[in-house]
Structure 1
Amino acid sequence: MNTLDTSDRFTLIRHGDADGWIEAVAAEMAAELNRDIAEFGRARMLLSGGTTPAPIYQALAELDVQWDRVEVSLVDERWLSPQDRDSNAWLVRESFLTRAEGAHFDPLVRVGKPLPECVYSANLQAQHSQRPCLSVIGMGNDGHTASLFPGSKDLTRALESTLPYAALDATGCPGANQWPLRITLTPHGLKQSRQRLLLLRGKQKLEVLKHALESNNPQLYPILNAIDLDGAKLRVHWCD
């Protein structure tokens, strides 16, 4: 067992294969949602885009949850229309919302509104909504999570923000690809979730996580900002 398995900063769950990984994470998400529905009558969760979580969202939609009592929003979004196939909203809609009939979706980008107004609306929505029972995040090979990219000129401001969401310009950051303008959950926003799940695939991602812990530099490895938060420890679900 290595230092990742014995770390007291998060819980690492290793899965033997992709099918087991998908089934276990979907079941854990459904349990968190049902817990809040039983206690409050409704549940809210924040989802990430990308191809990694898509099969989990598909499996989750098939589980026994009262979807008409579930509100869904995003961890982050590219500055794209929700109808754009490269947006996180489109991914979540295609992999989950079309299957989870009745679930309510709050996109971060509002068509026709400028970026600052979209961020304002996202913060207003977050501050007046039920506390999320869970947030699902990923991690890039550069150590970014959500849209908190190392080297971005807005990173420090986003990390220090006391609001749930911030705008971020990741121009020049390779991980942002051709979409430098973003809306991202801040560490302050992330810690509002009762549970946080980090979904990883492949041995390279474990190496990045190991390097992040060794560096202990949250500017160089923003994933650390999702690990060292108050509340429940981050749960890391990994499979090769």
Structure 2
Amino acid sequence: MATLVEKFFDNKDALTKELSATLEQSLRDGIKNDGRAVLMVSGGSSPAPAYKHLSTLDLDWQHVDVAMVDERWVDSSHEKSNEAFIKSTLLQNHGSAANFITMKNTAATAQQGTQECETAYSELKIPYDVTILGMGPDGHTASLFPNANGLKHGLTTTQSVCAINAIESEVTGSITERMTLTLNAIAQSKVVKLLISGEEKLAVYKQAKAGGDVNDMPLRAVLNHPSINIEVYWAP
């Protein structure tokens, strides 16, 4: 099992306040101790207020690497692009000085773009300071989707990134081709912050924590990993 610390909040504002403070501290500690800080970021509404707050802080952003946890294989101008979301929230104000590592490249497919992405990610400091994960109602995290084409590889490879082609569902939408951090890469973080909101997702999290087939709920692979330090943030 991973090392789990569960932080349950009364509301999203309280979650954001705690998340913002701990992210700031992790970045400052990374810069102070290693000369650089590495922040792995996910899209989604839960971290957005914390990203916006971080962007206003007078950190040594030139020594911060911000890299994607996962990405749809779409151009950065696409409305569903996680890169566009990060650029509009975290990489604003002072945060615009950070070194940003994207996953999407010019390759026609995520599979064809894997090696270029792997090369870019191999230059990042290990361990990463923080990795931010979300979770879907289907039990996916990052772009490790249930029974997806590429999931087994993503859970077993020693590489940092892999291509995924998800089974189309209400959760995935029509864009099933993704690039994602592998389980191995997620395990290379000093701390993983898993952000969950609402009663429905809390029930999914508890189901994943109870055990079962990782192919059906890939979050289980993260929760079961013996060397991952996870802080779960939940608000209604």
TM-score interval (norm. to shorter): over 0.9
Deviation string 1:147-187 (CA, Å, 9 cap, x unpaired) is 01112132112211111110011133442111100001110
Misfit runs of 4+, over 6 Å? none
Alignment of 1:158-177 (within 5 A): 158-177=154-173
* Structure 1 segments unaligned to the other structure (5+ residues): 1-6
Structure 1 Cα separation of the partners of residues 14 and 56 of structure 2: 16
Q: 1-side partners of 2:173 and 2:185: how far apart?
A: 24
Residue 215 (structure 2) aligns with: 219
Aligned partner of 1:129 in structure 2 is 124
Aligned partner of 1:146 among 121, 127, 142: 142
> CA shift at 1:103, angstroms?
0.8
Contact map agreement 1:149 1:175 (CA 8 A) in 2: no
CA contact (8 A) 1:76 1:146 kept: yes
Deviation at 1:17, TM superposition (A): 1.6
Query: Residue 208 in 1 paired to residue 208 in 2?
Result: no
Contact 1:164 1:188 (8 Å CA) reproduced: yes
Shift of 1:18: 1.4
Letter aligned with residue 100 of structure 2: F
State the TM-score, normalizing by the size of structure 1.
0.91
Q: Which residue of 2 aligns with 1:108?
A: 103
Higher relative contact order (CA 8 A, sep 6+): 2
| Structure 1 contact 30–64 (Cα < 8 Å) conserved | no
Deviation at 1:228? 2.3
The answer for the alignment partner of 1:3 in structure 2 is none
> Contact (CA 8 Å) 1:82, 1:107: kept in 2 or not?
no
Structure 1 range deviating more: 140-149 or 64-73: 64-73
User: Aligned-residue CA RMSD in angstroms?
Assistant: 1.8
Hey, what does 1:90 align to over in structure 2?
Answer: 84
Shift of 1:12: 0.5
Matched residues in 2 for 1:42 and 1:8: separation? 26
Q: 2:71 aligns with which of 74, 77, 99?
A: 77
2:30 paired with 1:39: no
Say which SS state the counterpart of residue 176 (structure 1) adopts: coil
CA shift in 2, pair 1:137/1:233, >3 Å? same
Deviations 1:174-212 (A, max 9, x none): 421111000011101111111100011111111001111
Question: Secondary structure at the residue paired with 1:175?
Answer: coil
The answer on whether the counterparts of 1:152 and 1:173 sit within 8 Å (CA) in structure 2 is: no
TM-score (norm 2): 0.93
Post-superposition shift, 1:112?
5.4
Question: What is the CA–CA distance in structure 2 between the aligned matches of 1:191 and 1:232, rounded to whole Å?
Answer: 5
Q: For residues 34-84 of structure 1, give each alpha carbon's deviation from its aligned partner in whole angstroms, at most 9, with x where no partner exists.
A: 111001111111100122211121122223421121111100000011222
- The 1:114–1:149 alpha-carbon spacing in structure 2 relative to 1, beyond 3 Å, is closer
Q: Which moved more, 1:24-33 or 1:171-180?
A: 171-180
**Are 2:188 and 1:195 aligned?**
no
8 Å CA contact retained: 2:166, 2:172: yes
Q: Measure, in 2, the Cα distance between the counterparts of 1:115 and 1:213.
A: 30
In the alignment, the residues of structure 2 paired with residue 219 and residue 119 of structure 1 have an alpha-carbon distance, to the nearest angstrom, of 22
Equivalent-residue separation in structure 2 for 1:59 and 1:142 (angstroms): 30
Count of equivalent residues = 234
Matched, 1:62 2:64: no
